[in-house]
């Protein structure tokens, strides 16, 4: 693979990648939504508790009074929120395994069982990559963006190639070498699509929340949107990885 000059861009165009992702999602929607639904249960309960528990974490009422009864709900919401960080990662691994196995019909709980075996390798690789990206972002924004792109395939590599940590990050950088701008363009296009699609809905949801004086509408919308966009995002990402692997 060329390392000194960019190679010919043969990665599937963004519009085609998006169409492929939606097609696969529609074909296998039961499995994708089943995995996503289970992985987001702690997050949705955390959000629902928060939407009706407007008392800040320290336990003070908005009018300055004290309300110690709010603390158990606050702690429960925080615990569920923390748990959701793990369950969403777990669900993402299950989705990648399902895609890697060519969408073979598999019970959702079996996918989670298989994903559990790769959880810590995946989680460690994710944390290591994020730490390096955050350090680069702290120093200068551009190096942080650069690292986020060249490490972007590492999580899929953990599942597909059975390596983790620095080896997965290094293999990701080798895959993307010579194709940086092509990969950057695909992710940028996908991000722009999500912003364009979600902005009008988000404005409406925020308006409803203000009228209700809660975050209930936002919580429900995030959950429903995740049922669709968590699988589609993973599919889109995986298709880019497949293209890079063939170059």
Q: What pLDDT, in 10s, does the model give residues 68-122?
A: 446 777 788 889 989 999 999 999 999 999 999 999 999 999 999 999 999 999 9
pLDDT at 188 over 60: yes
- Which conformational region is residue 184 in: left (phi greater than 0), alpha (psi within -120 to 50 degrees), or beta? alpha
102 contacts 71 by C-beta, under 8 angstroms: no
Q: Assign 5 a pLDDT band (cuts: 50, 70, 90).
A: very low
pLDDT at 194 over 70: yes
- What is the pTM (predicted TM-score) of this model? 0.86
User: CA-to-CA distance for 196 and 230, rounded, in angstroms?
Assistant: 17
The predicted pLDDT at position 208 comes to 83
* Of 131, 211, 194, 138, the residue nearest 165 (C-alpha): 131
Q: What percent of the chain has pLDDT over 90?
A: 64
Structure tokens at 99: 């895609």
pLDDT at 173 over 80: yes
Residues linked to residue 60 through DSSP beta bridges, in sequence order: 66
What's the mean pLDDT in 199-203? Answer: 87
pLDDT at 58 over 90: no
Q: Assign 53 a pLDDT band (cuts: 50, 70, 90).
A: low
The predicted pLDDT at position 209 comes to 78
* Of 208, 196, 216, the residue nearest 51 (C-alpha): 216
What's the mean pLDDT in 173-197? Answer: 94
What's the mean pLDDT in 27-45? Answer: 95
């Amino acid at each position: 693979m060329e390392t000194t000059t960019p190679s010919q861009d043969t990665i599937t165009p963004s519009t085609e990648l998006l169409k492929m992702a939606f097609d696969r999602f529609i074909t296998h929607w039961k499995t994708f939504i089943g995995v996503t639904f289970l992985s987001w249960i702690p997050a949705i309960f955390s959000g629902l508790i928060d939407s009706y528990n407007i008392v800040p974490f320290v336990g003070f009422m908005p009018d300055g009074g004290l309300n110690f009864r709010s603390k158990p709900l606050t702690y429960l919401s925080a615990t569920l929120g923390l748990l959701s960080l793990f369950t969403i990662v777990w669900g993402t691994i299950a989705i990648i395994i399902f895609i890697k196995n060519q969408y073979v019909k598999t019970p959702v709980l079996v996918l989670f069982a298989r994903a559990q075996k790769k959880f810590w390798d995946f989680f460690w690789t994710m944390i290591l990559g994020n730490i390096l990206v955050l350090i680069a972002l702290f120093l200068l924004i551009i190096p942080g963006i650069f690292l986020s792109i060249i490490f972007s395939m590492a999580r899929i590599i953990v599942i597909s190639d059975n390596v983790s940590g620095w080896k997965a990050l290094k293999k990701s950088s080798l895959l993307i070498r010579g194709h940086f701008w092509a990969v950057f363009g695909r992710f940028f296009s996908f991000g722009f699509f999500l912003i364009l699609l979600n902005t009008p809905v988000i404005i409406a949801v925020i308006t409803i929340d203000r009228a209700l004086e809660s975050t209930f509408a936002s919580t429900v919308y995030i959950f429903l949107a995740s049922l669709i966009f968590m699988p589609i995002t993973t599919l889109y990402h995986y298709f880019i990885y497949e293209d890079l692997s063939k170059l």
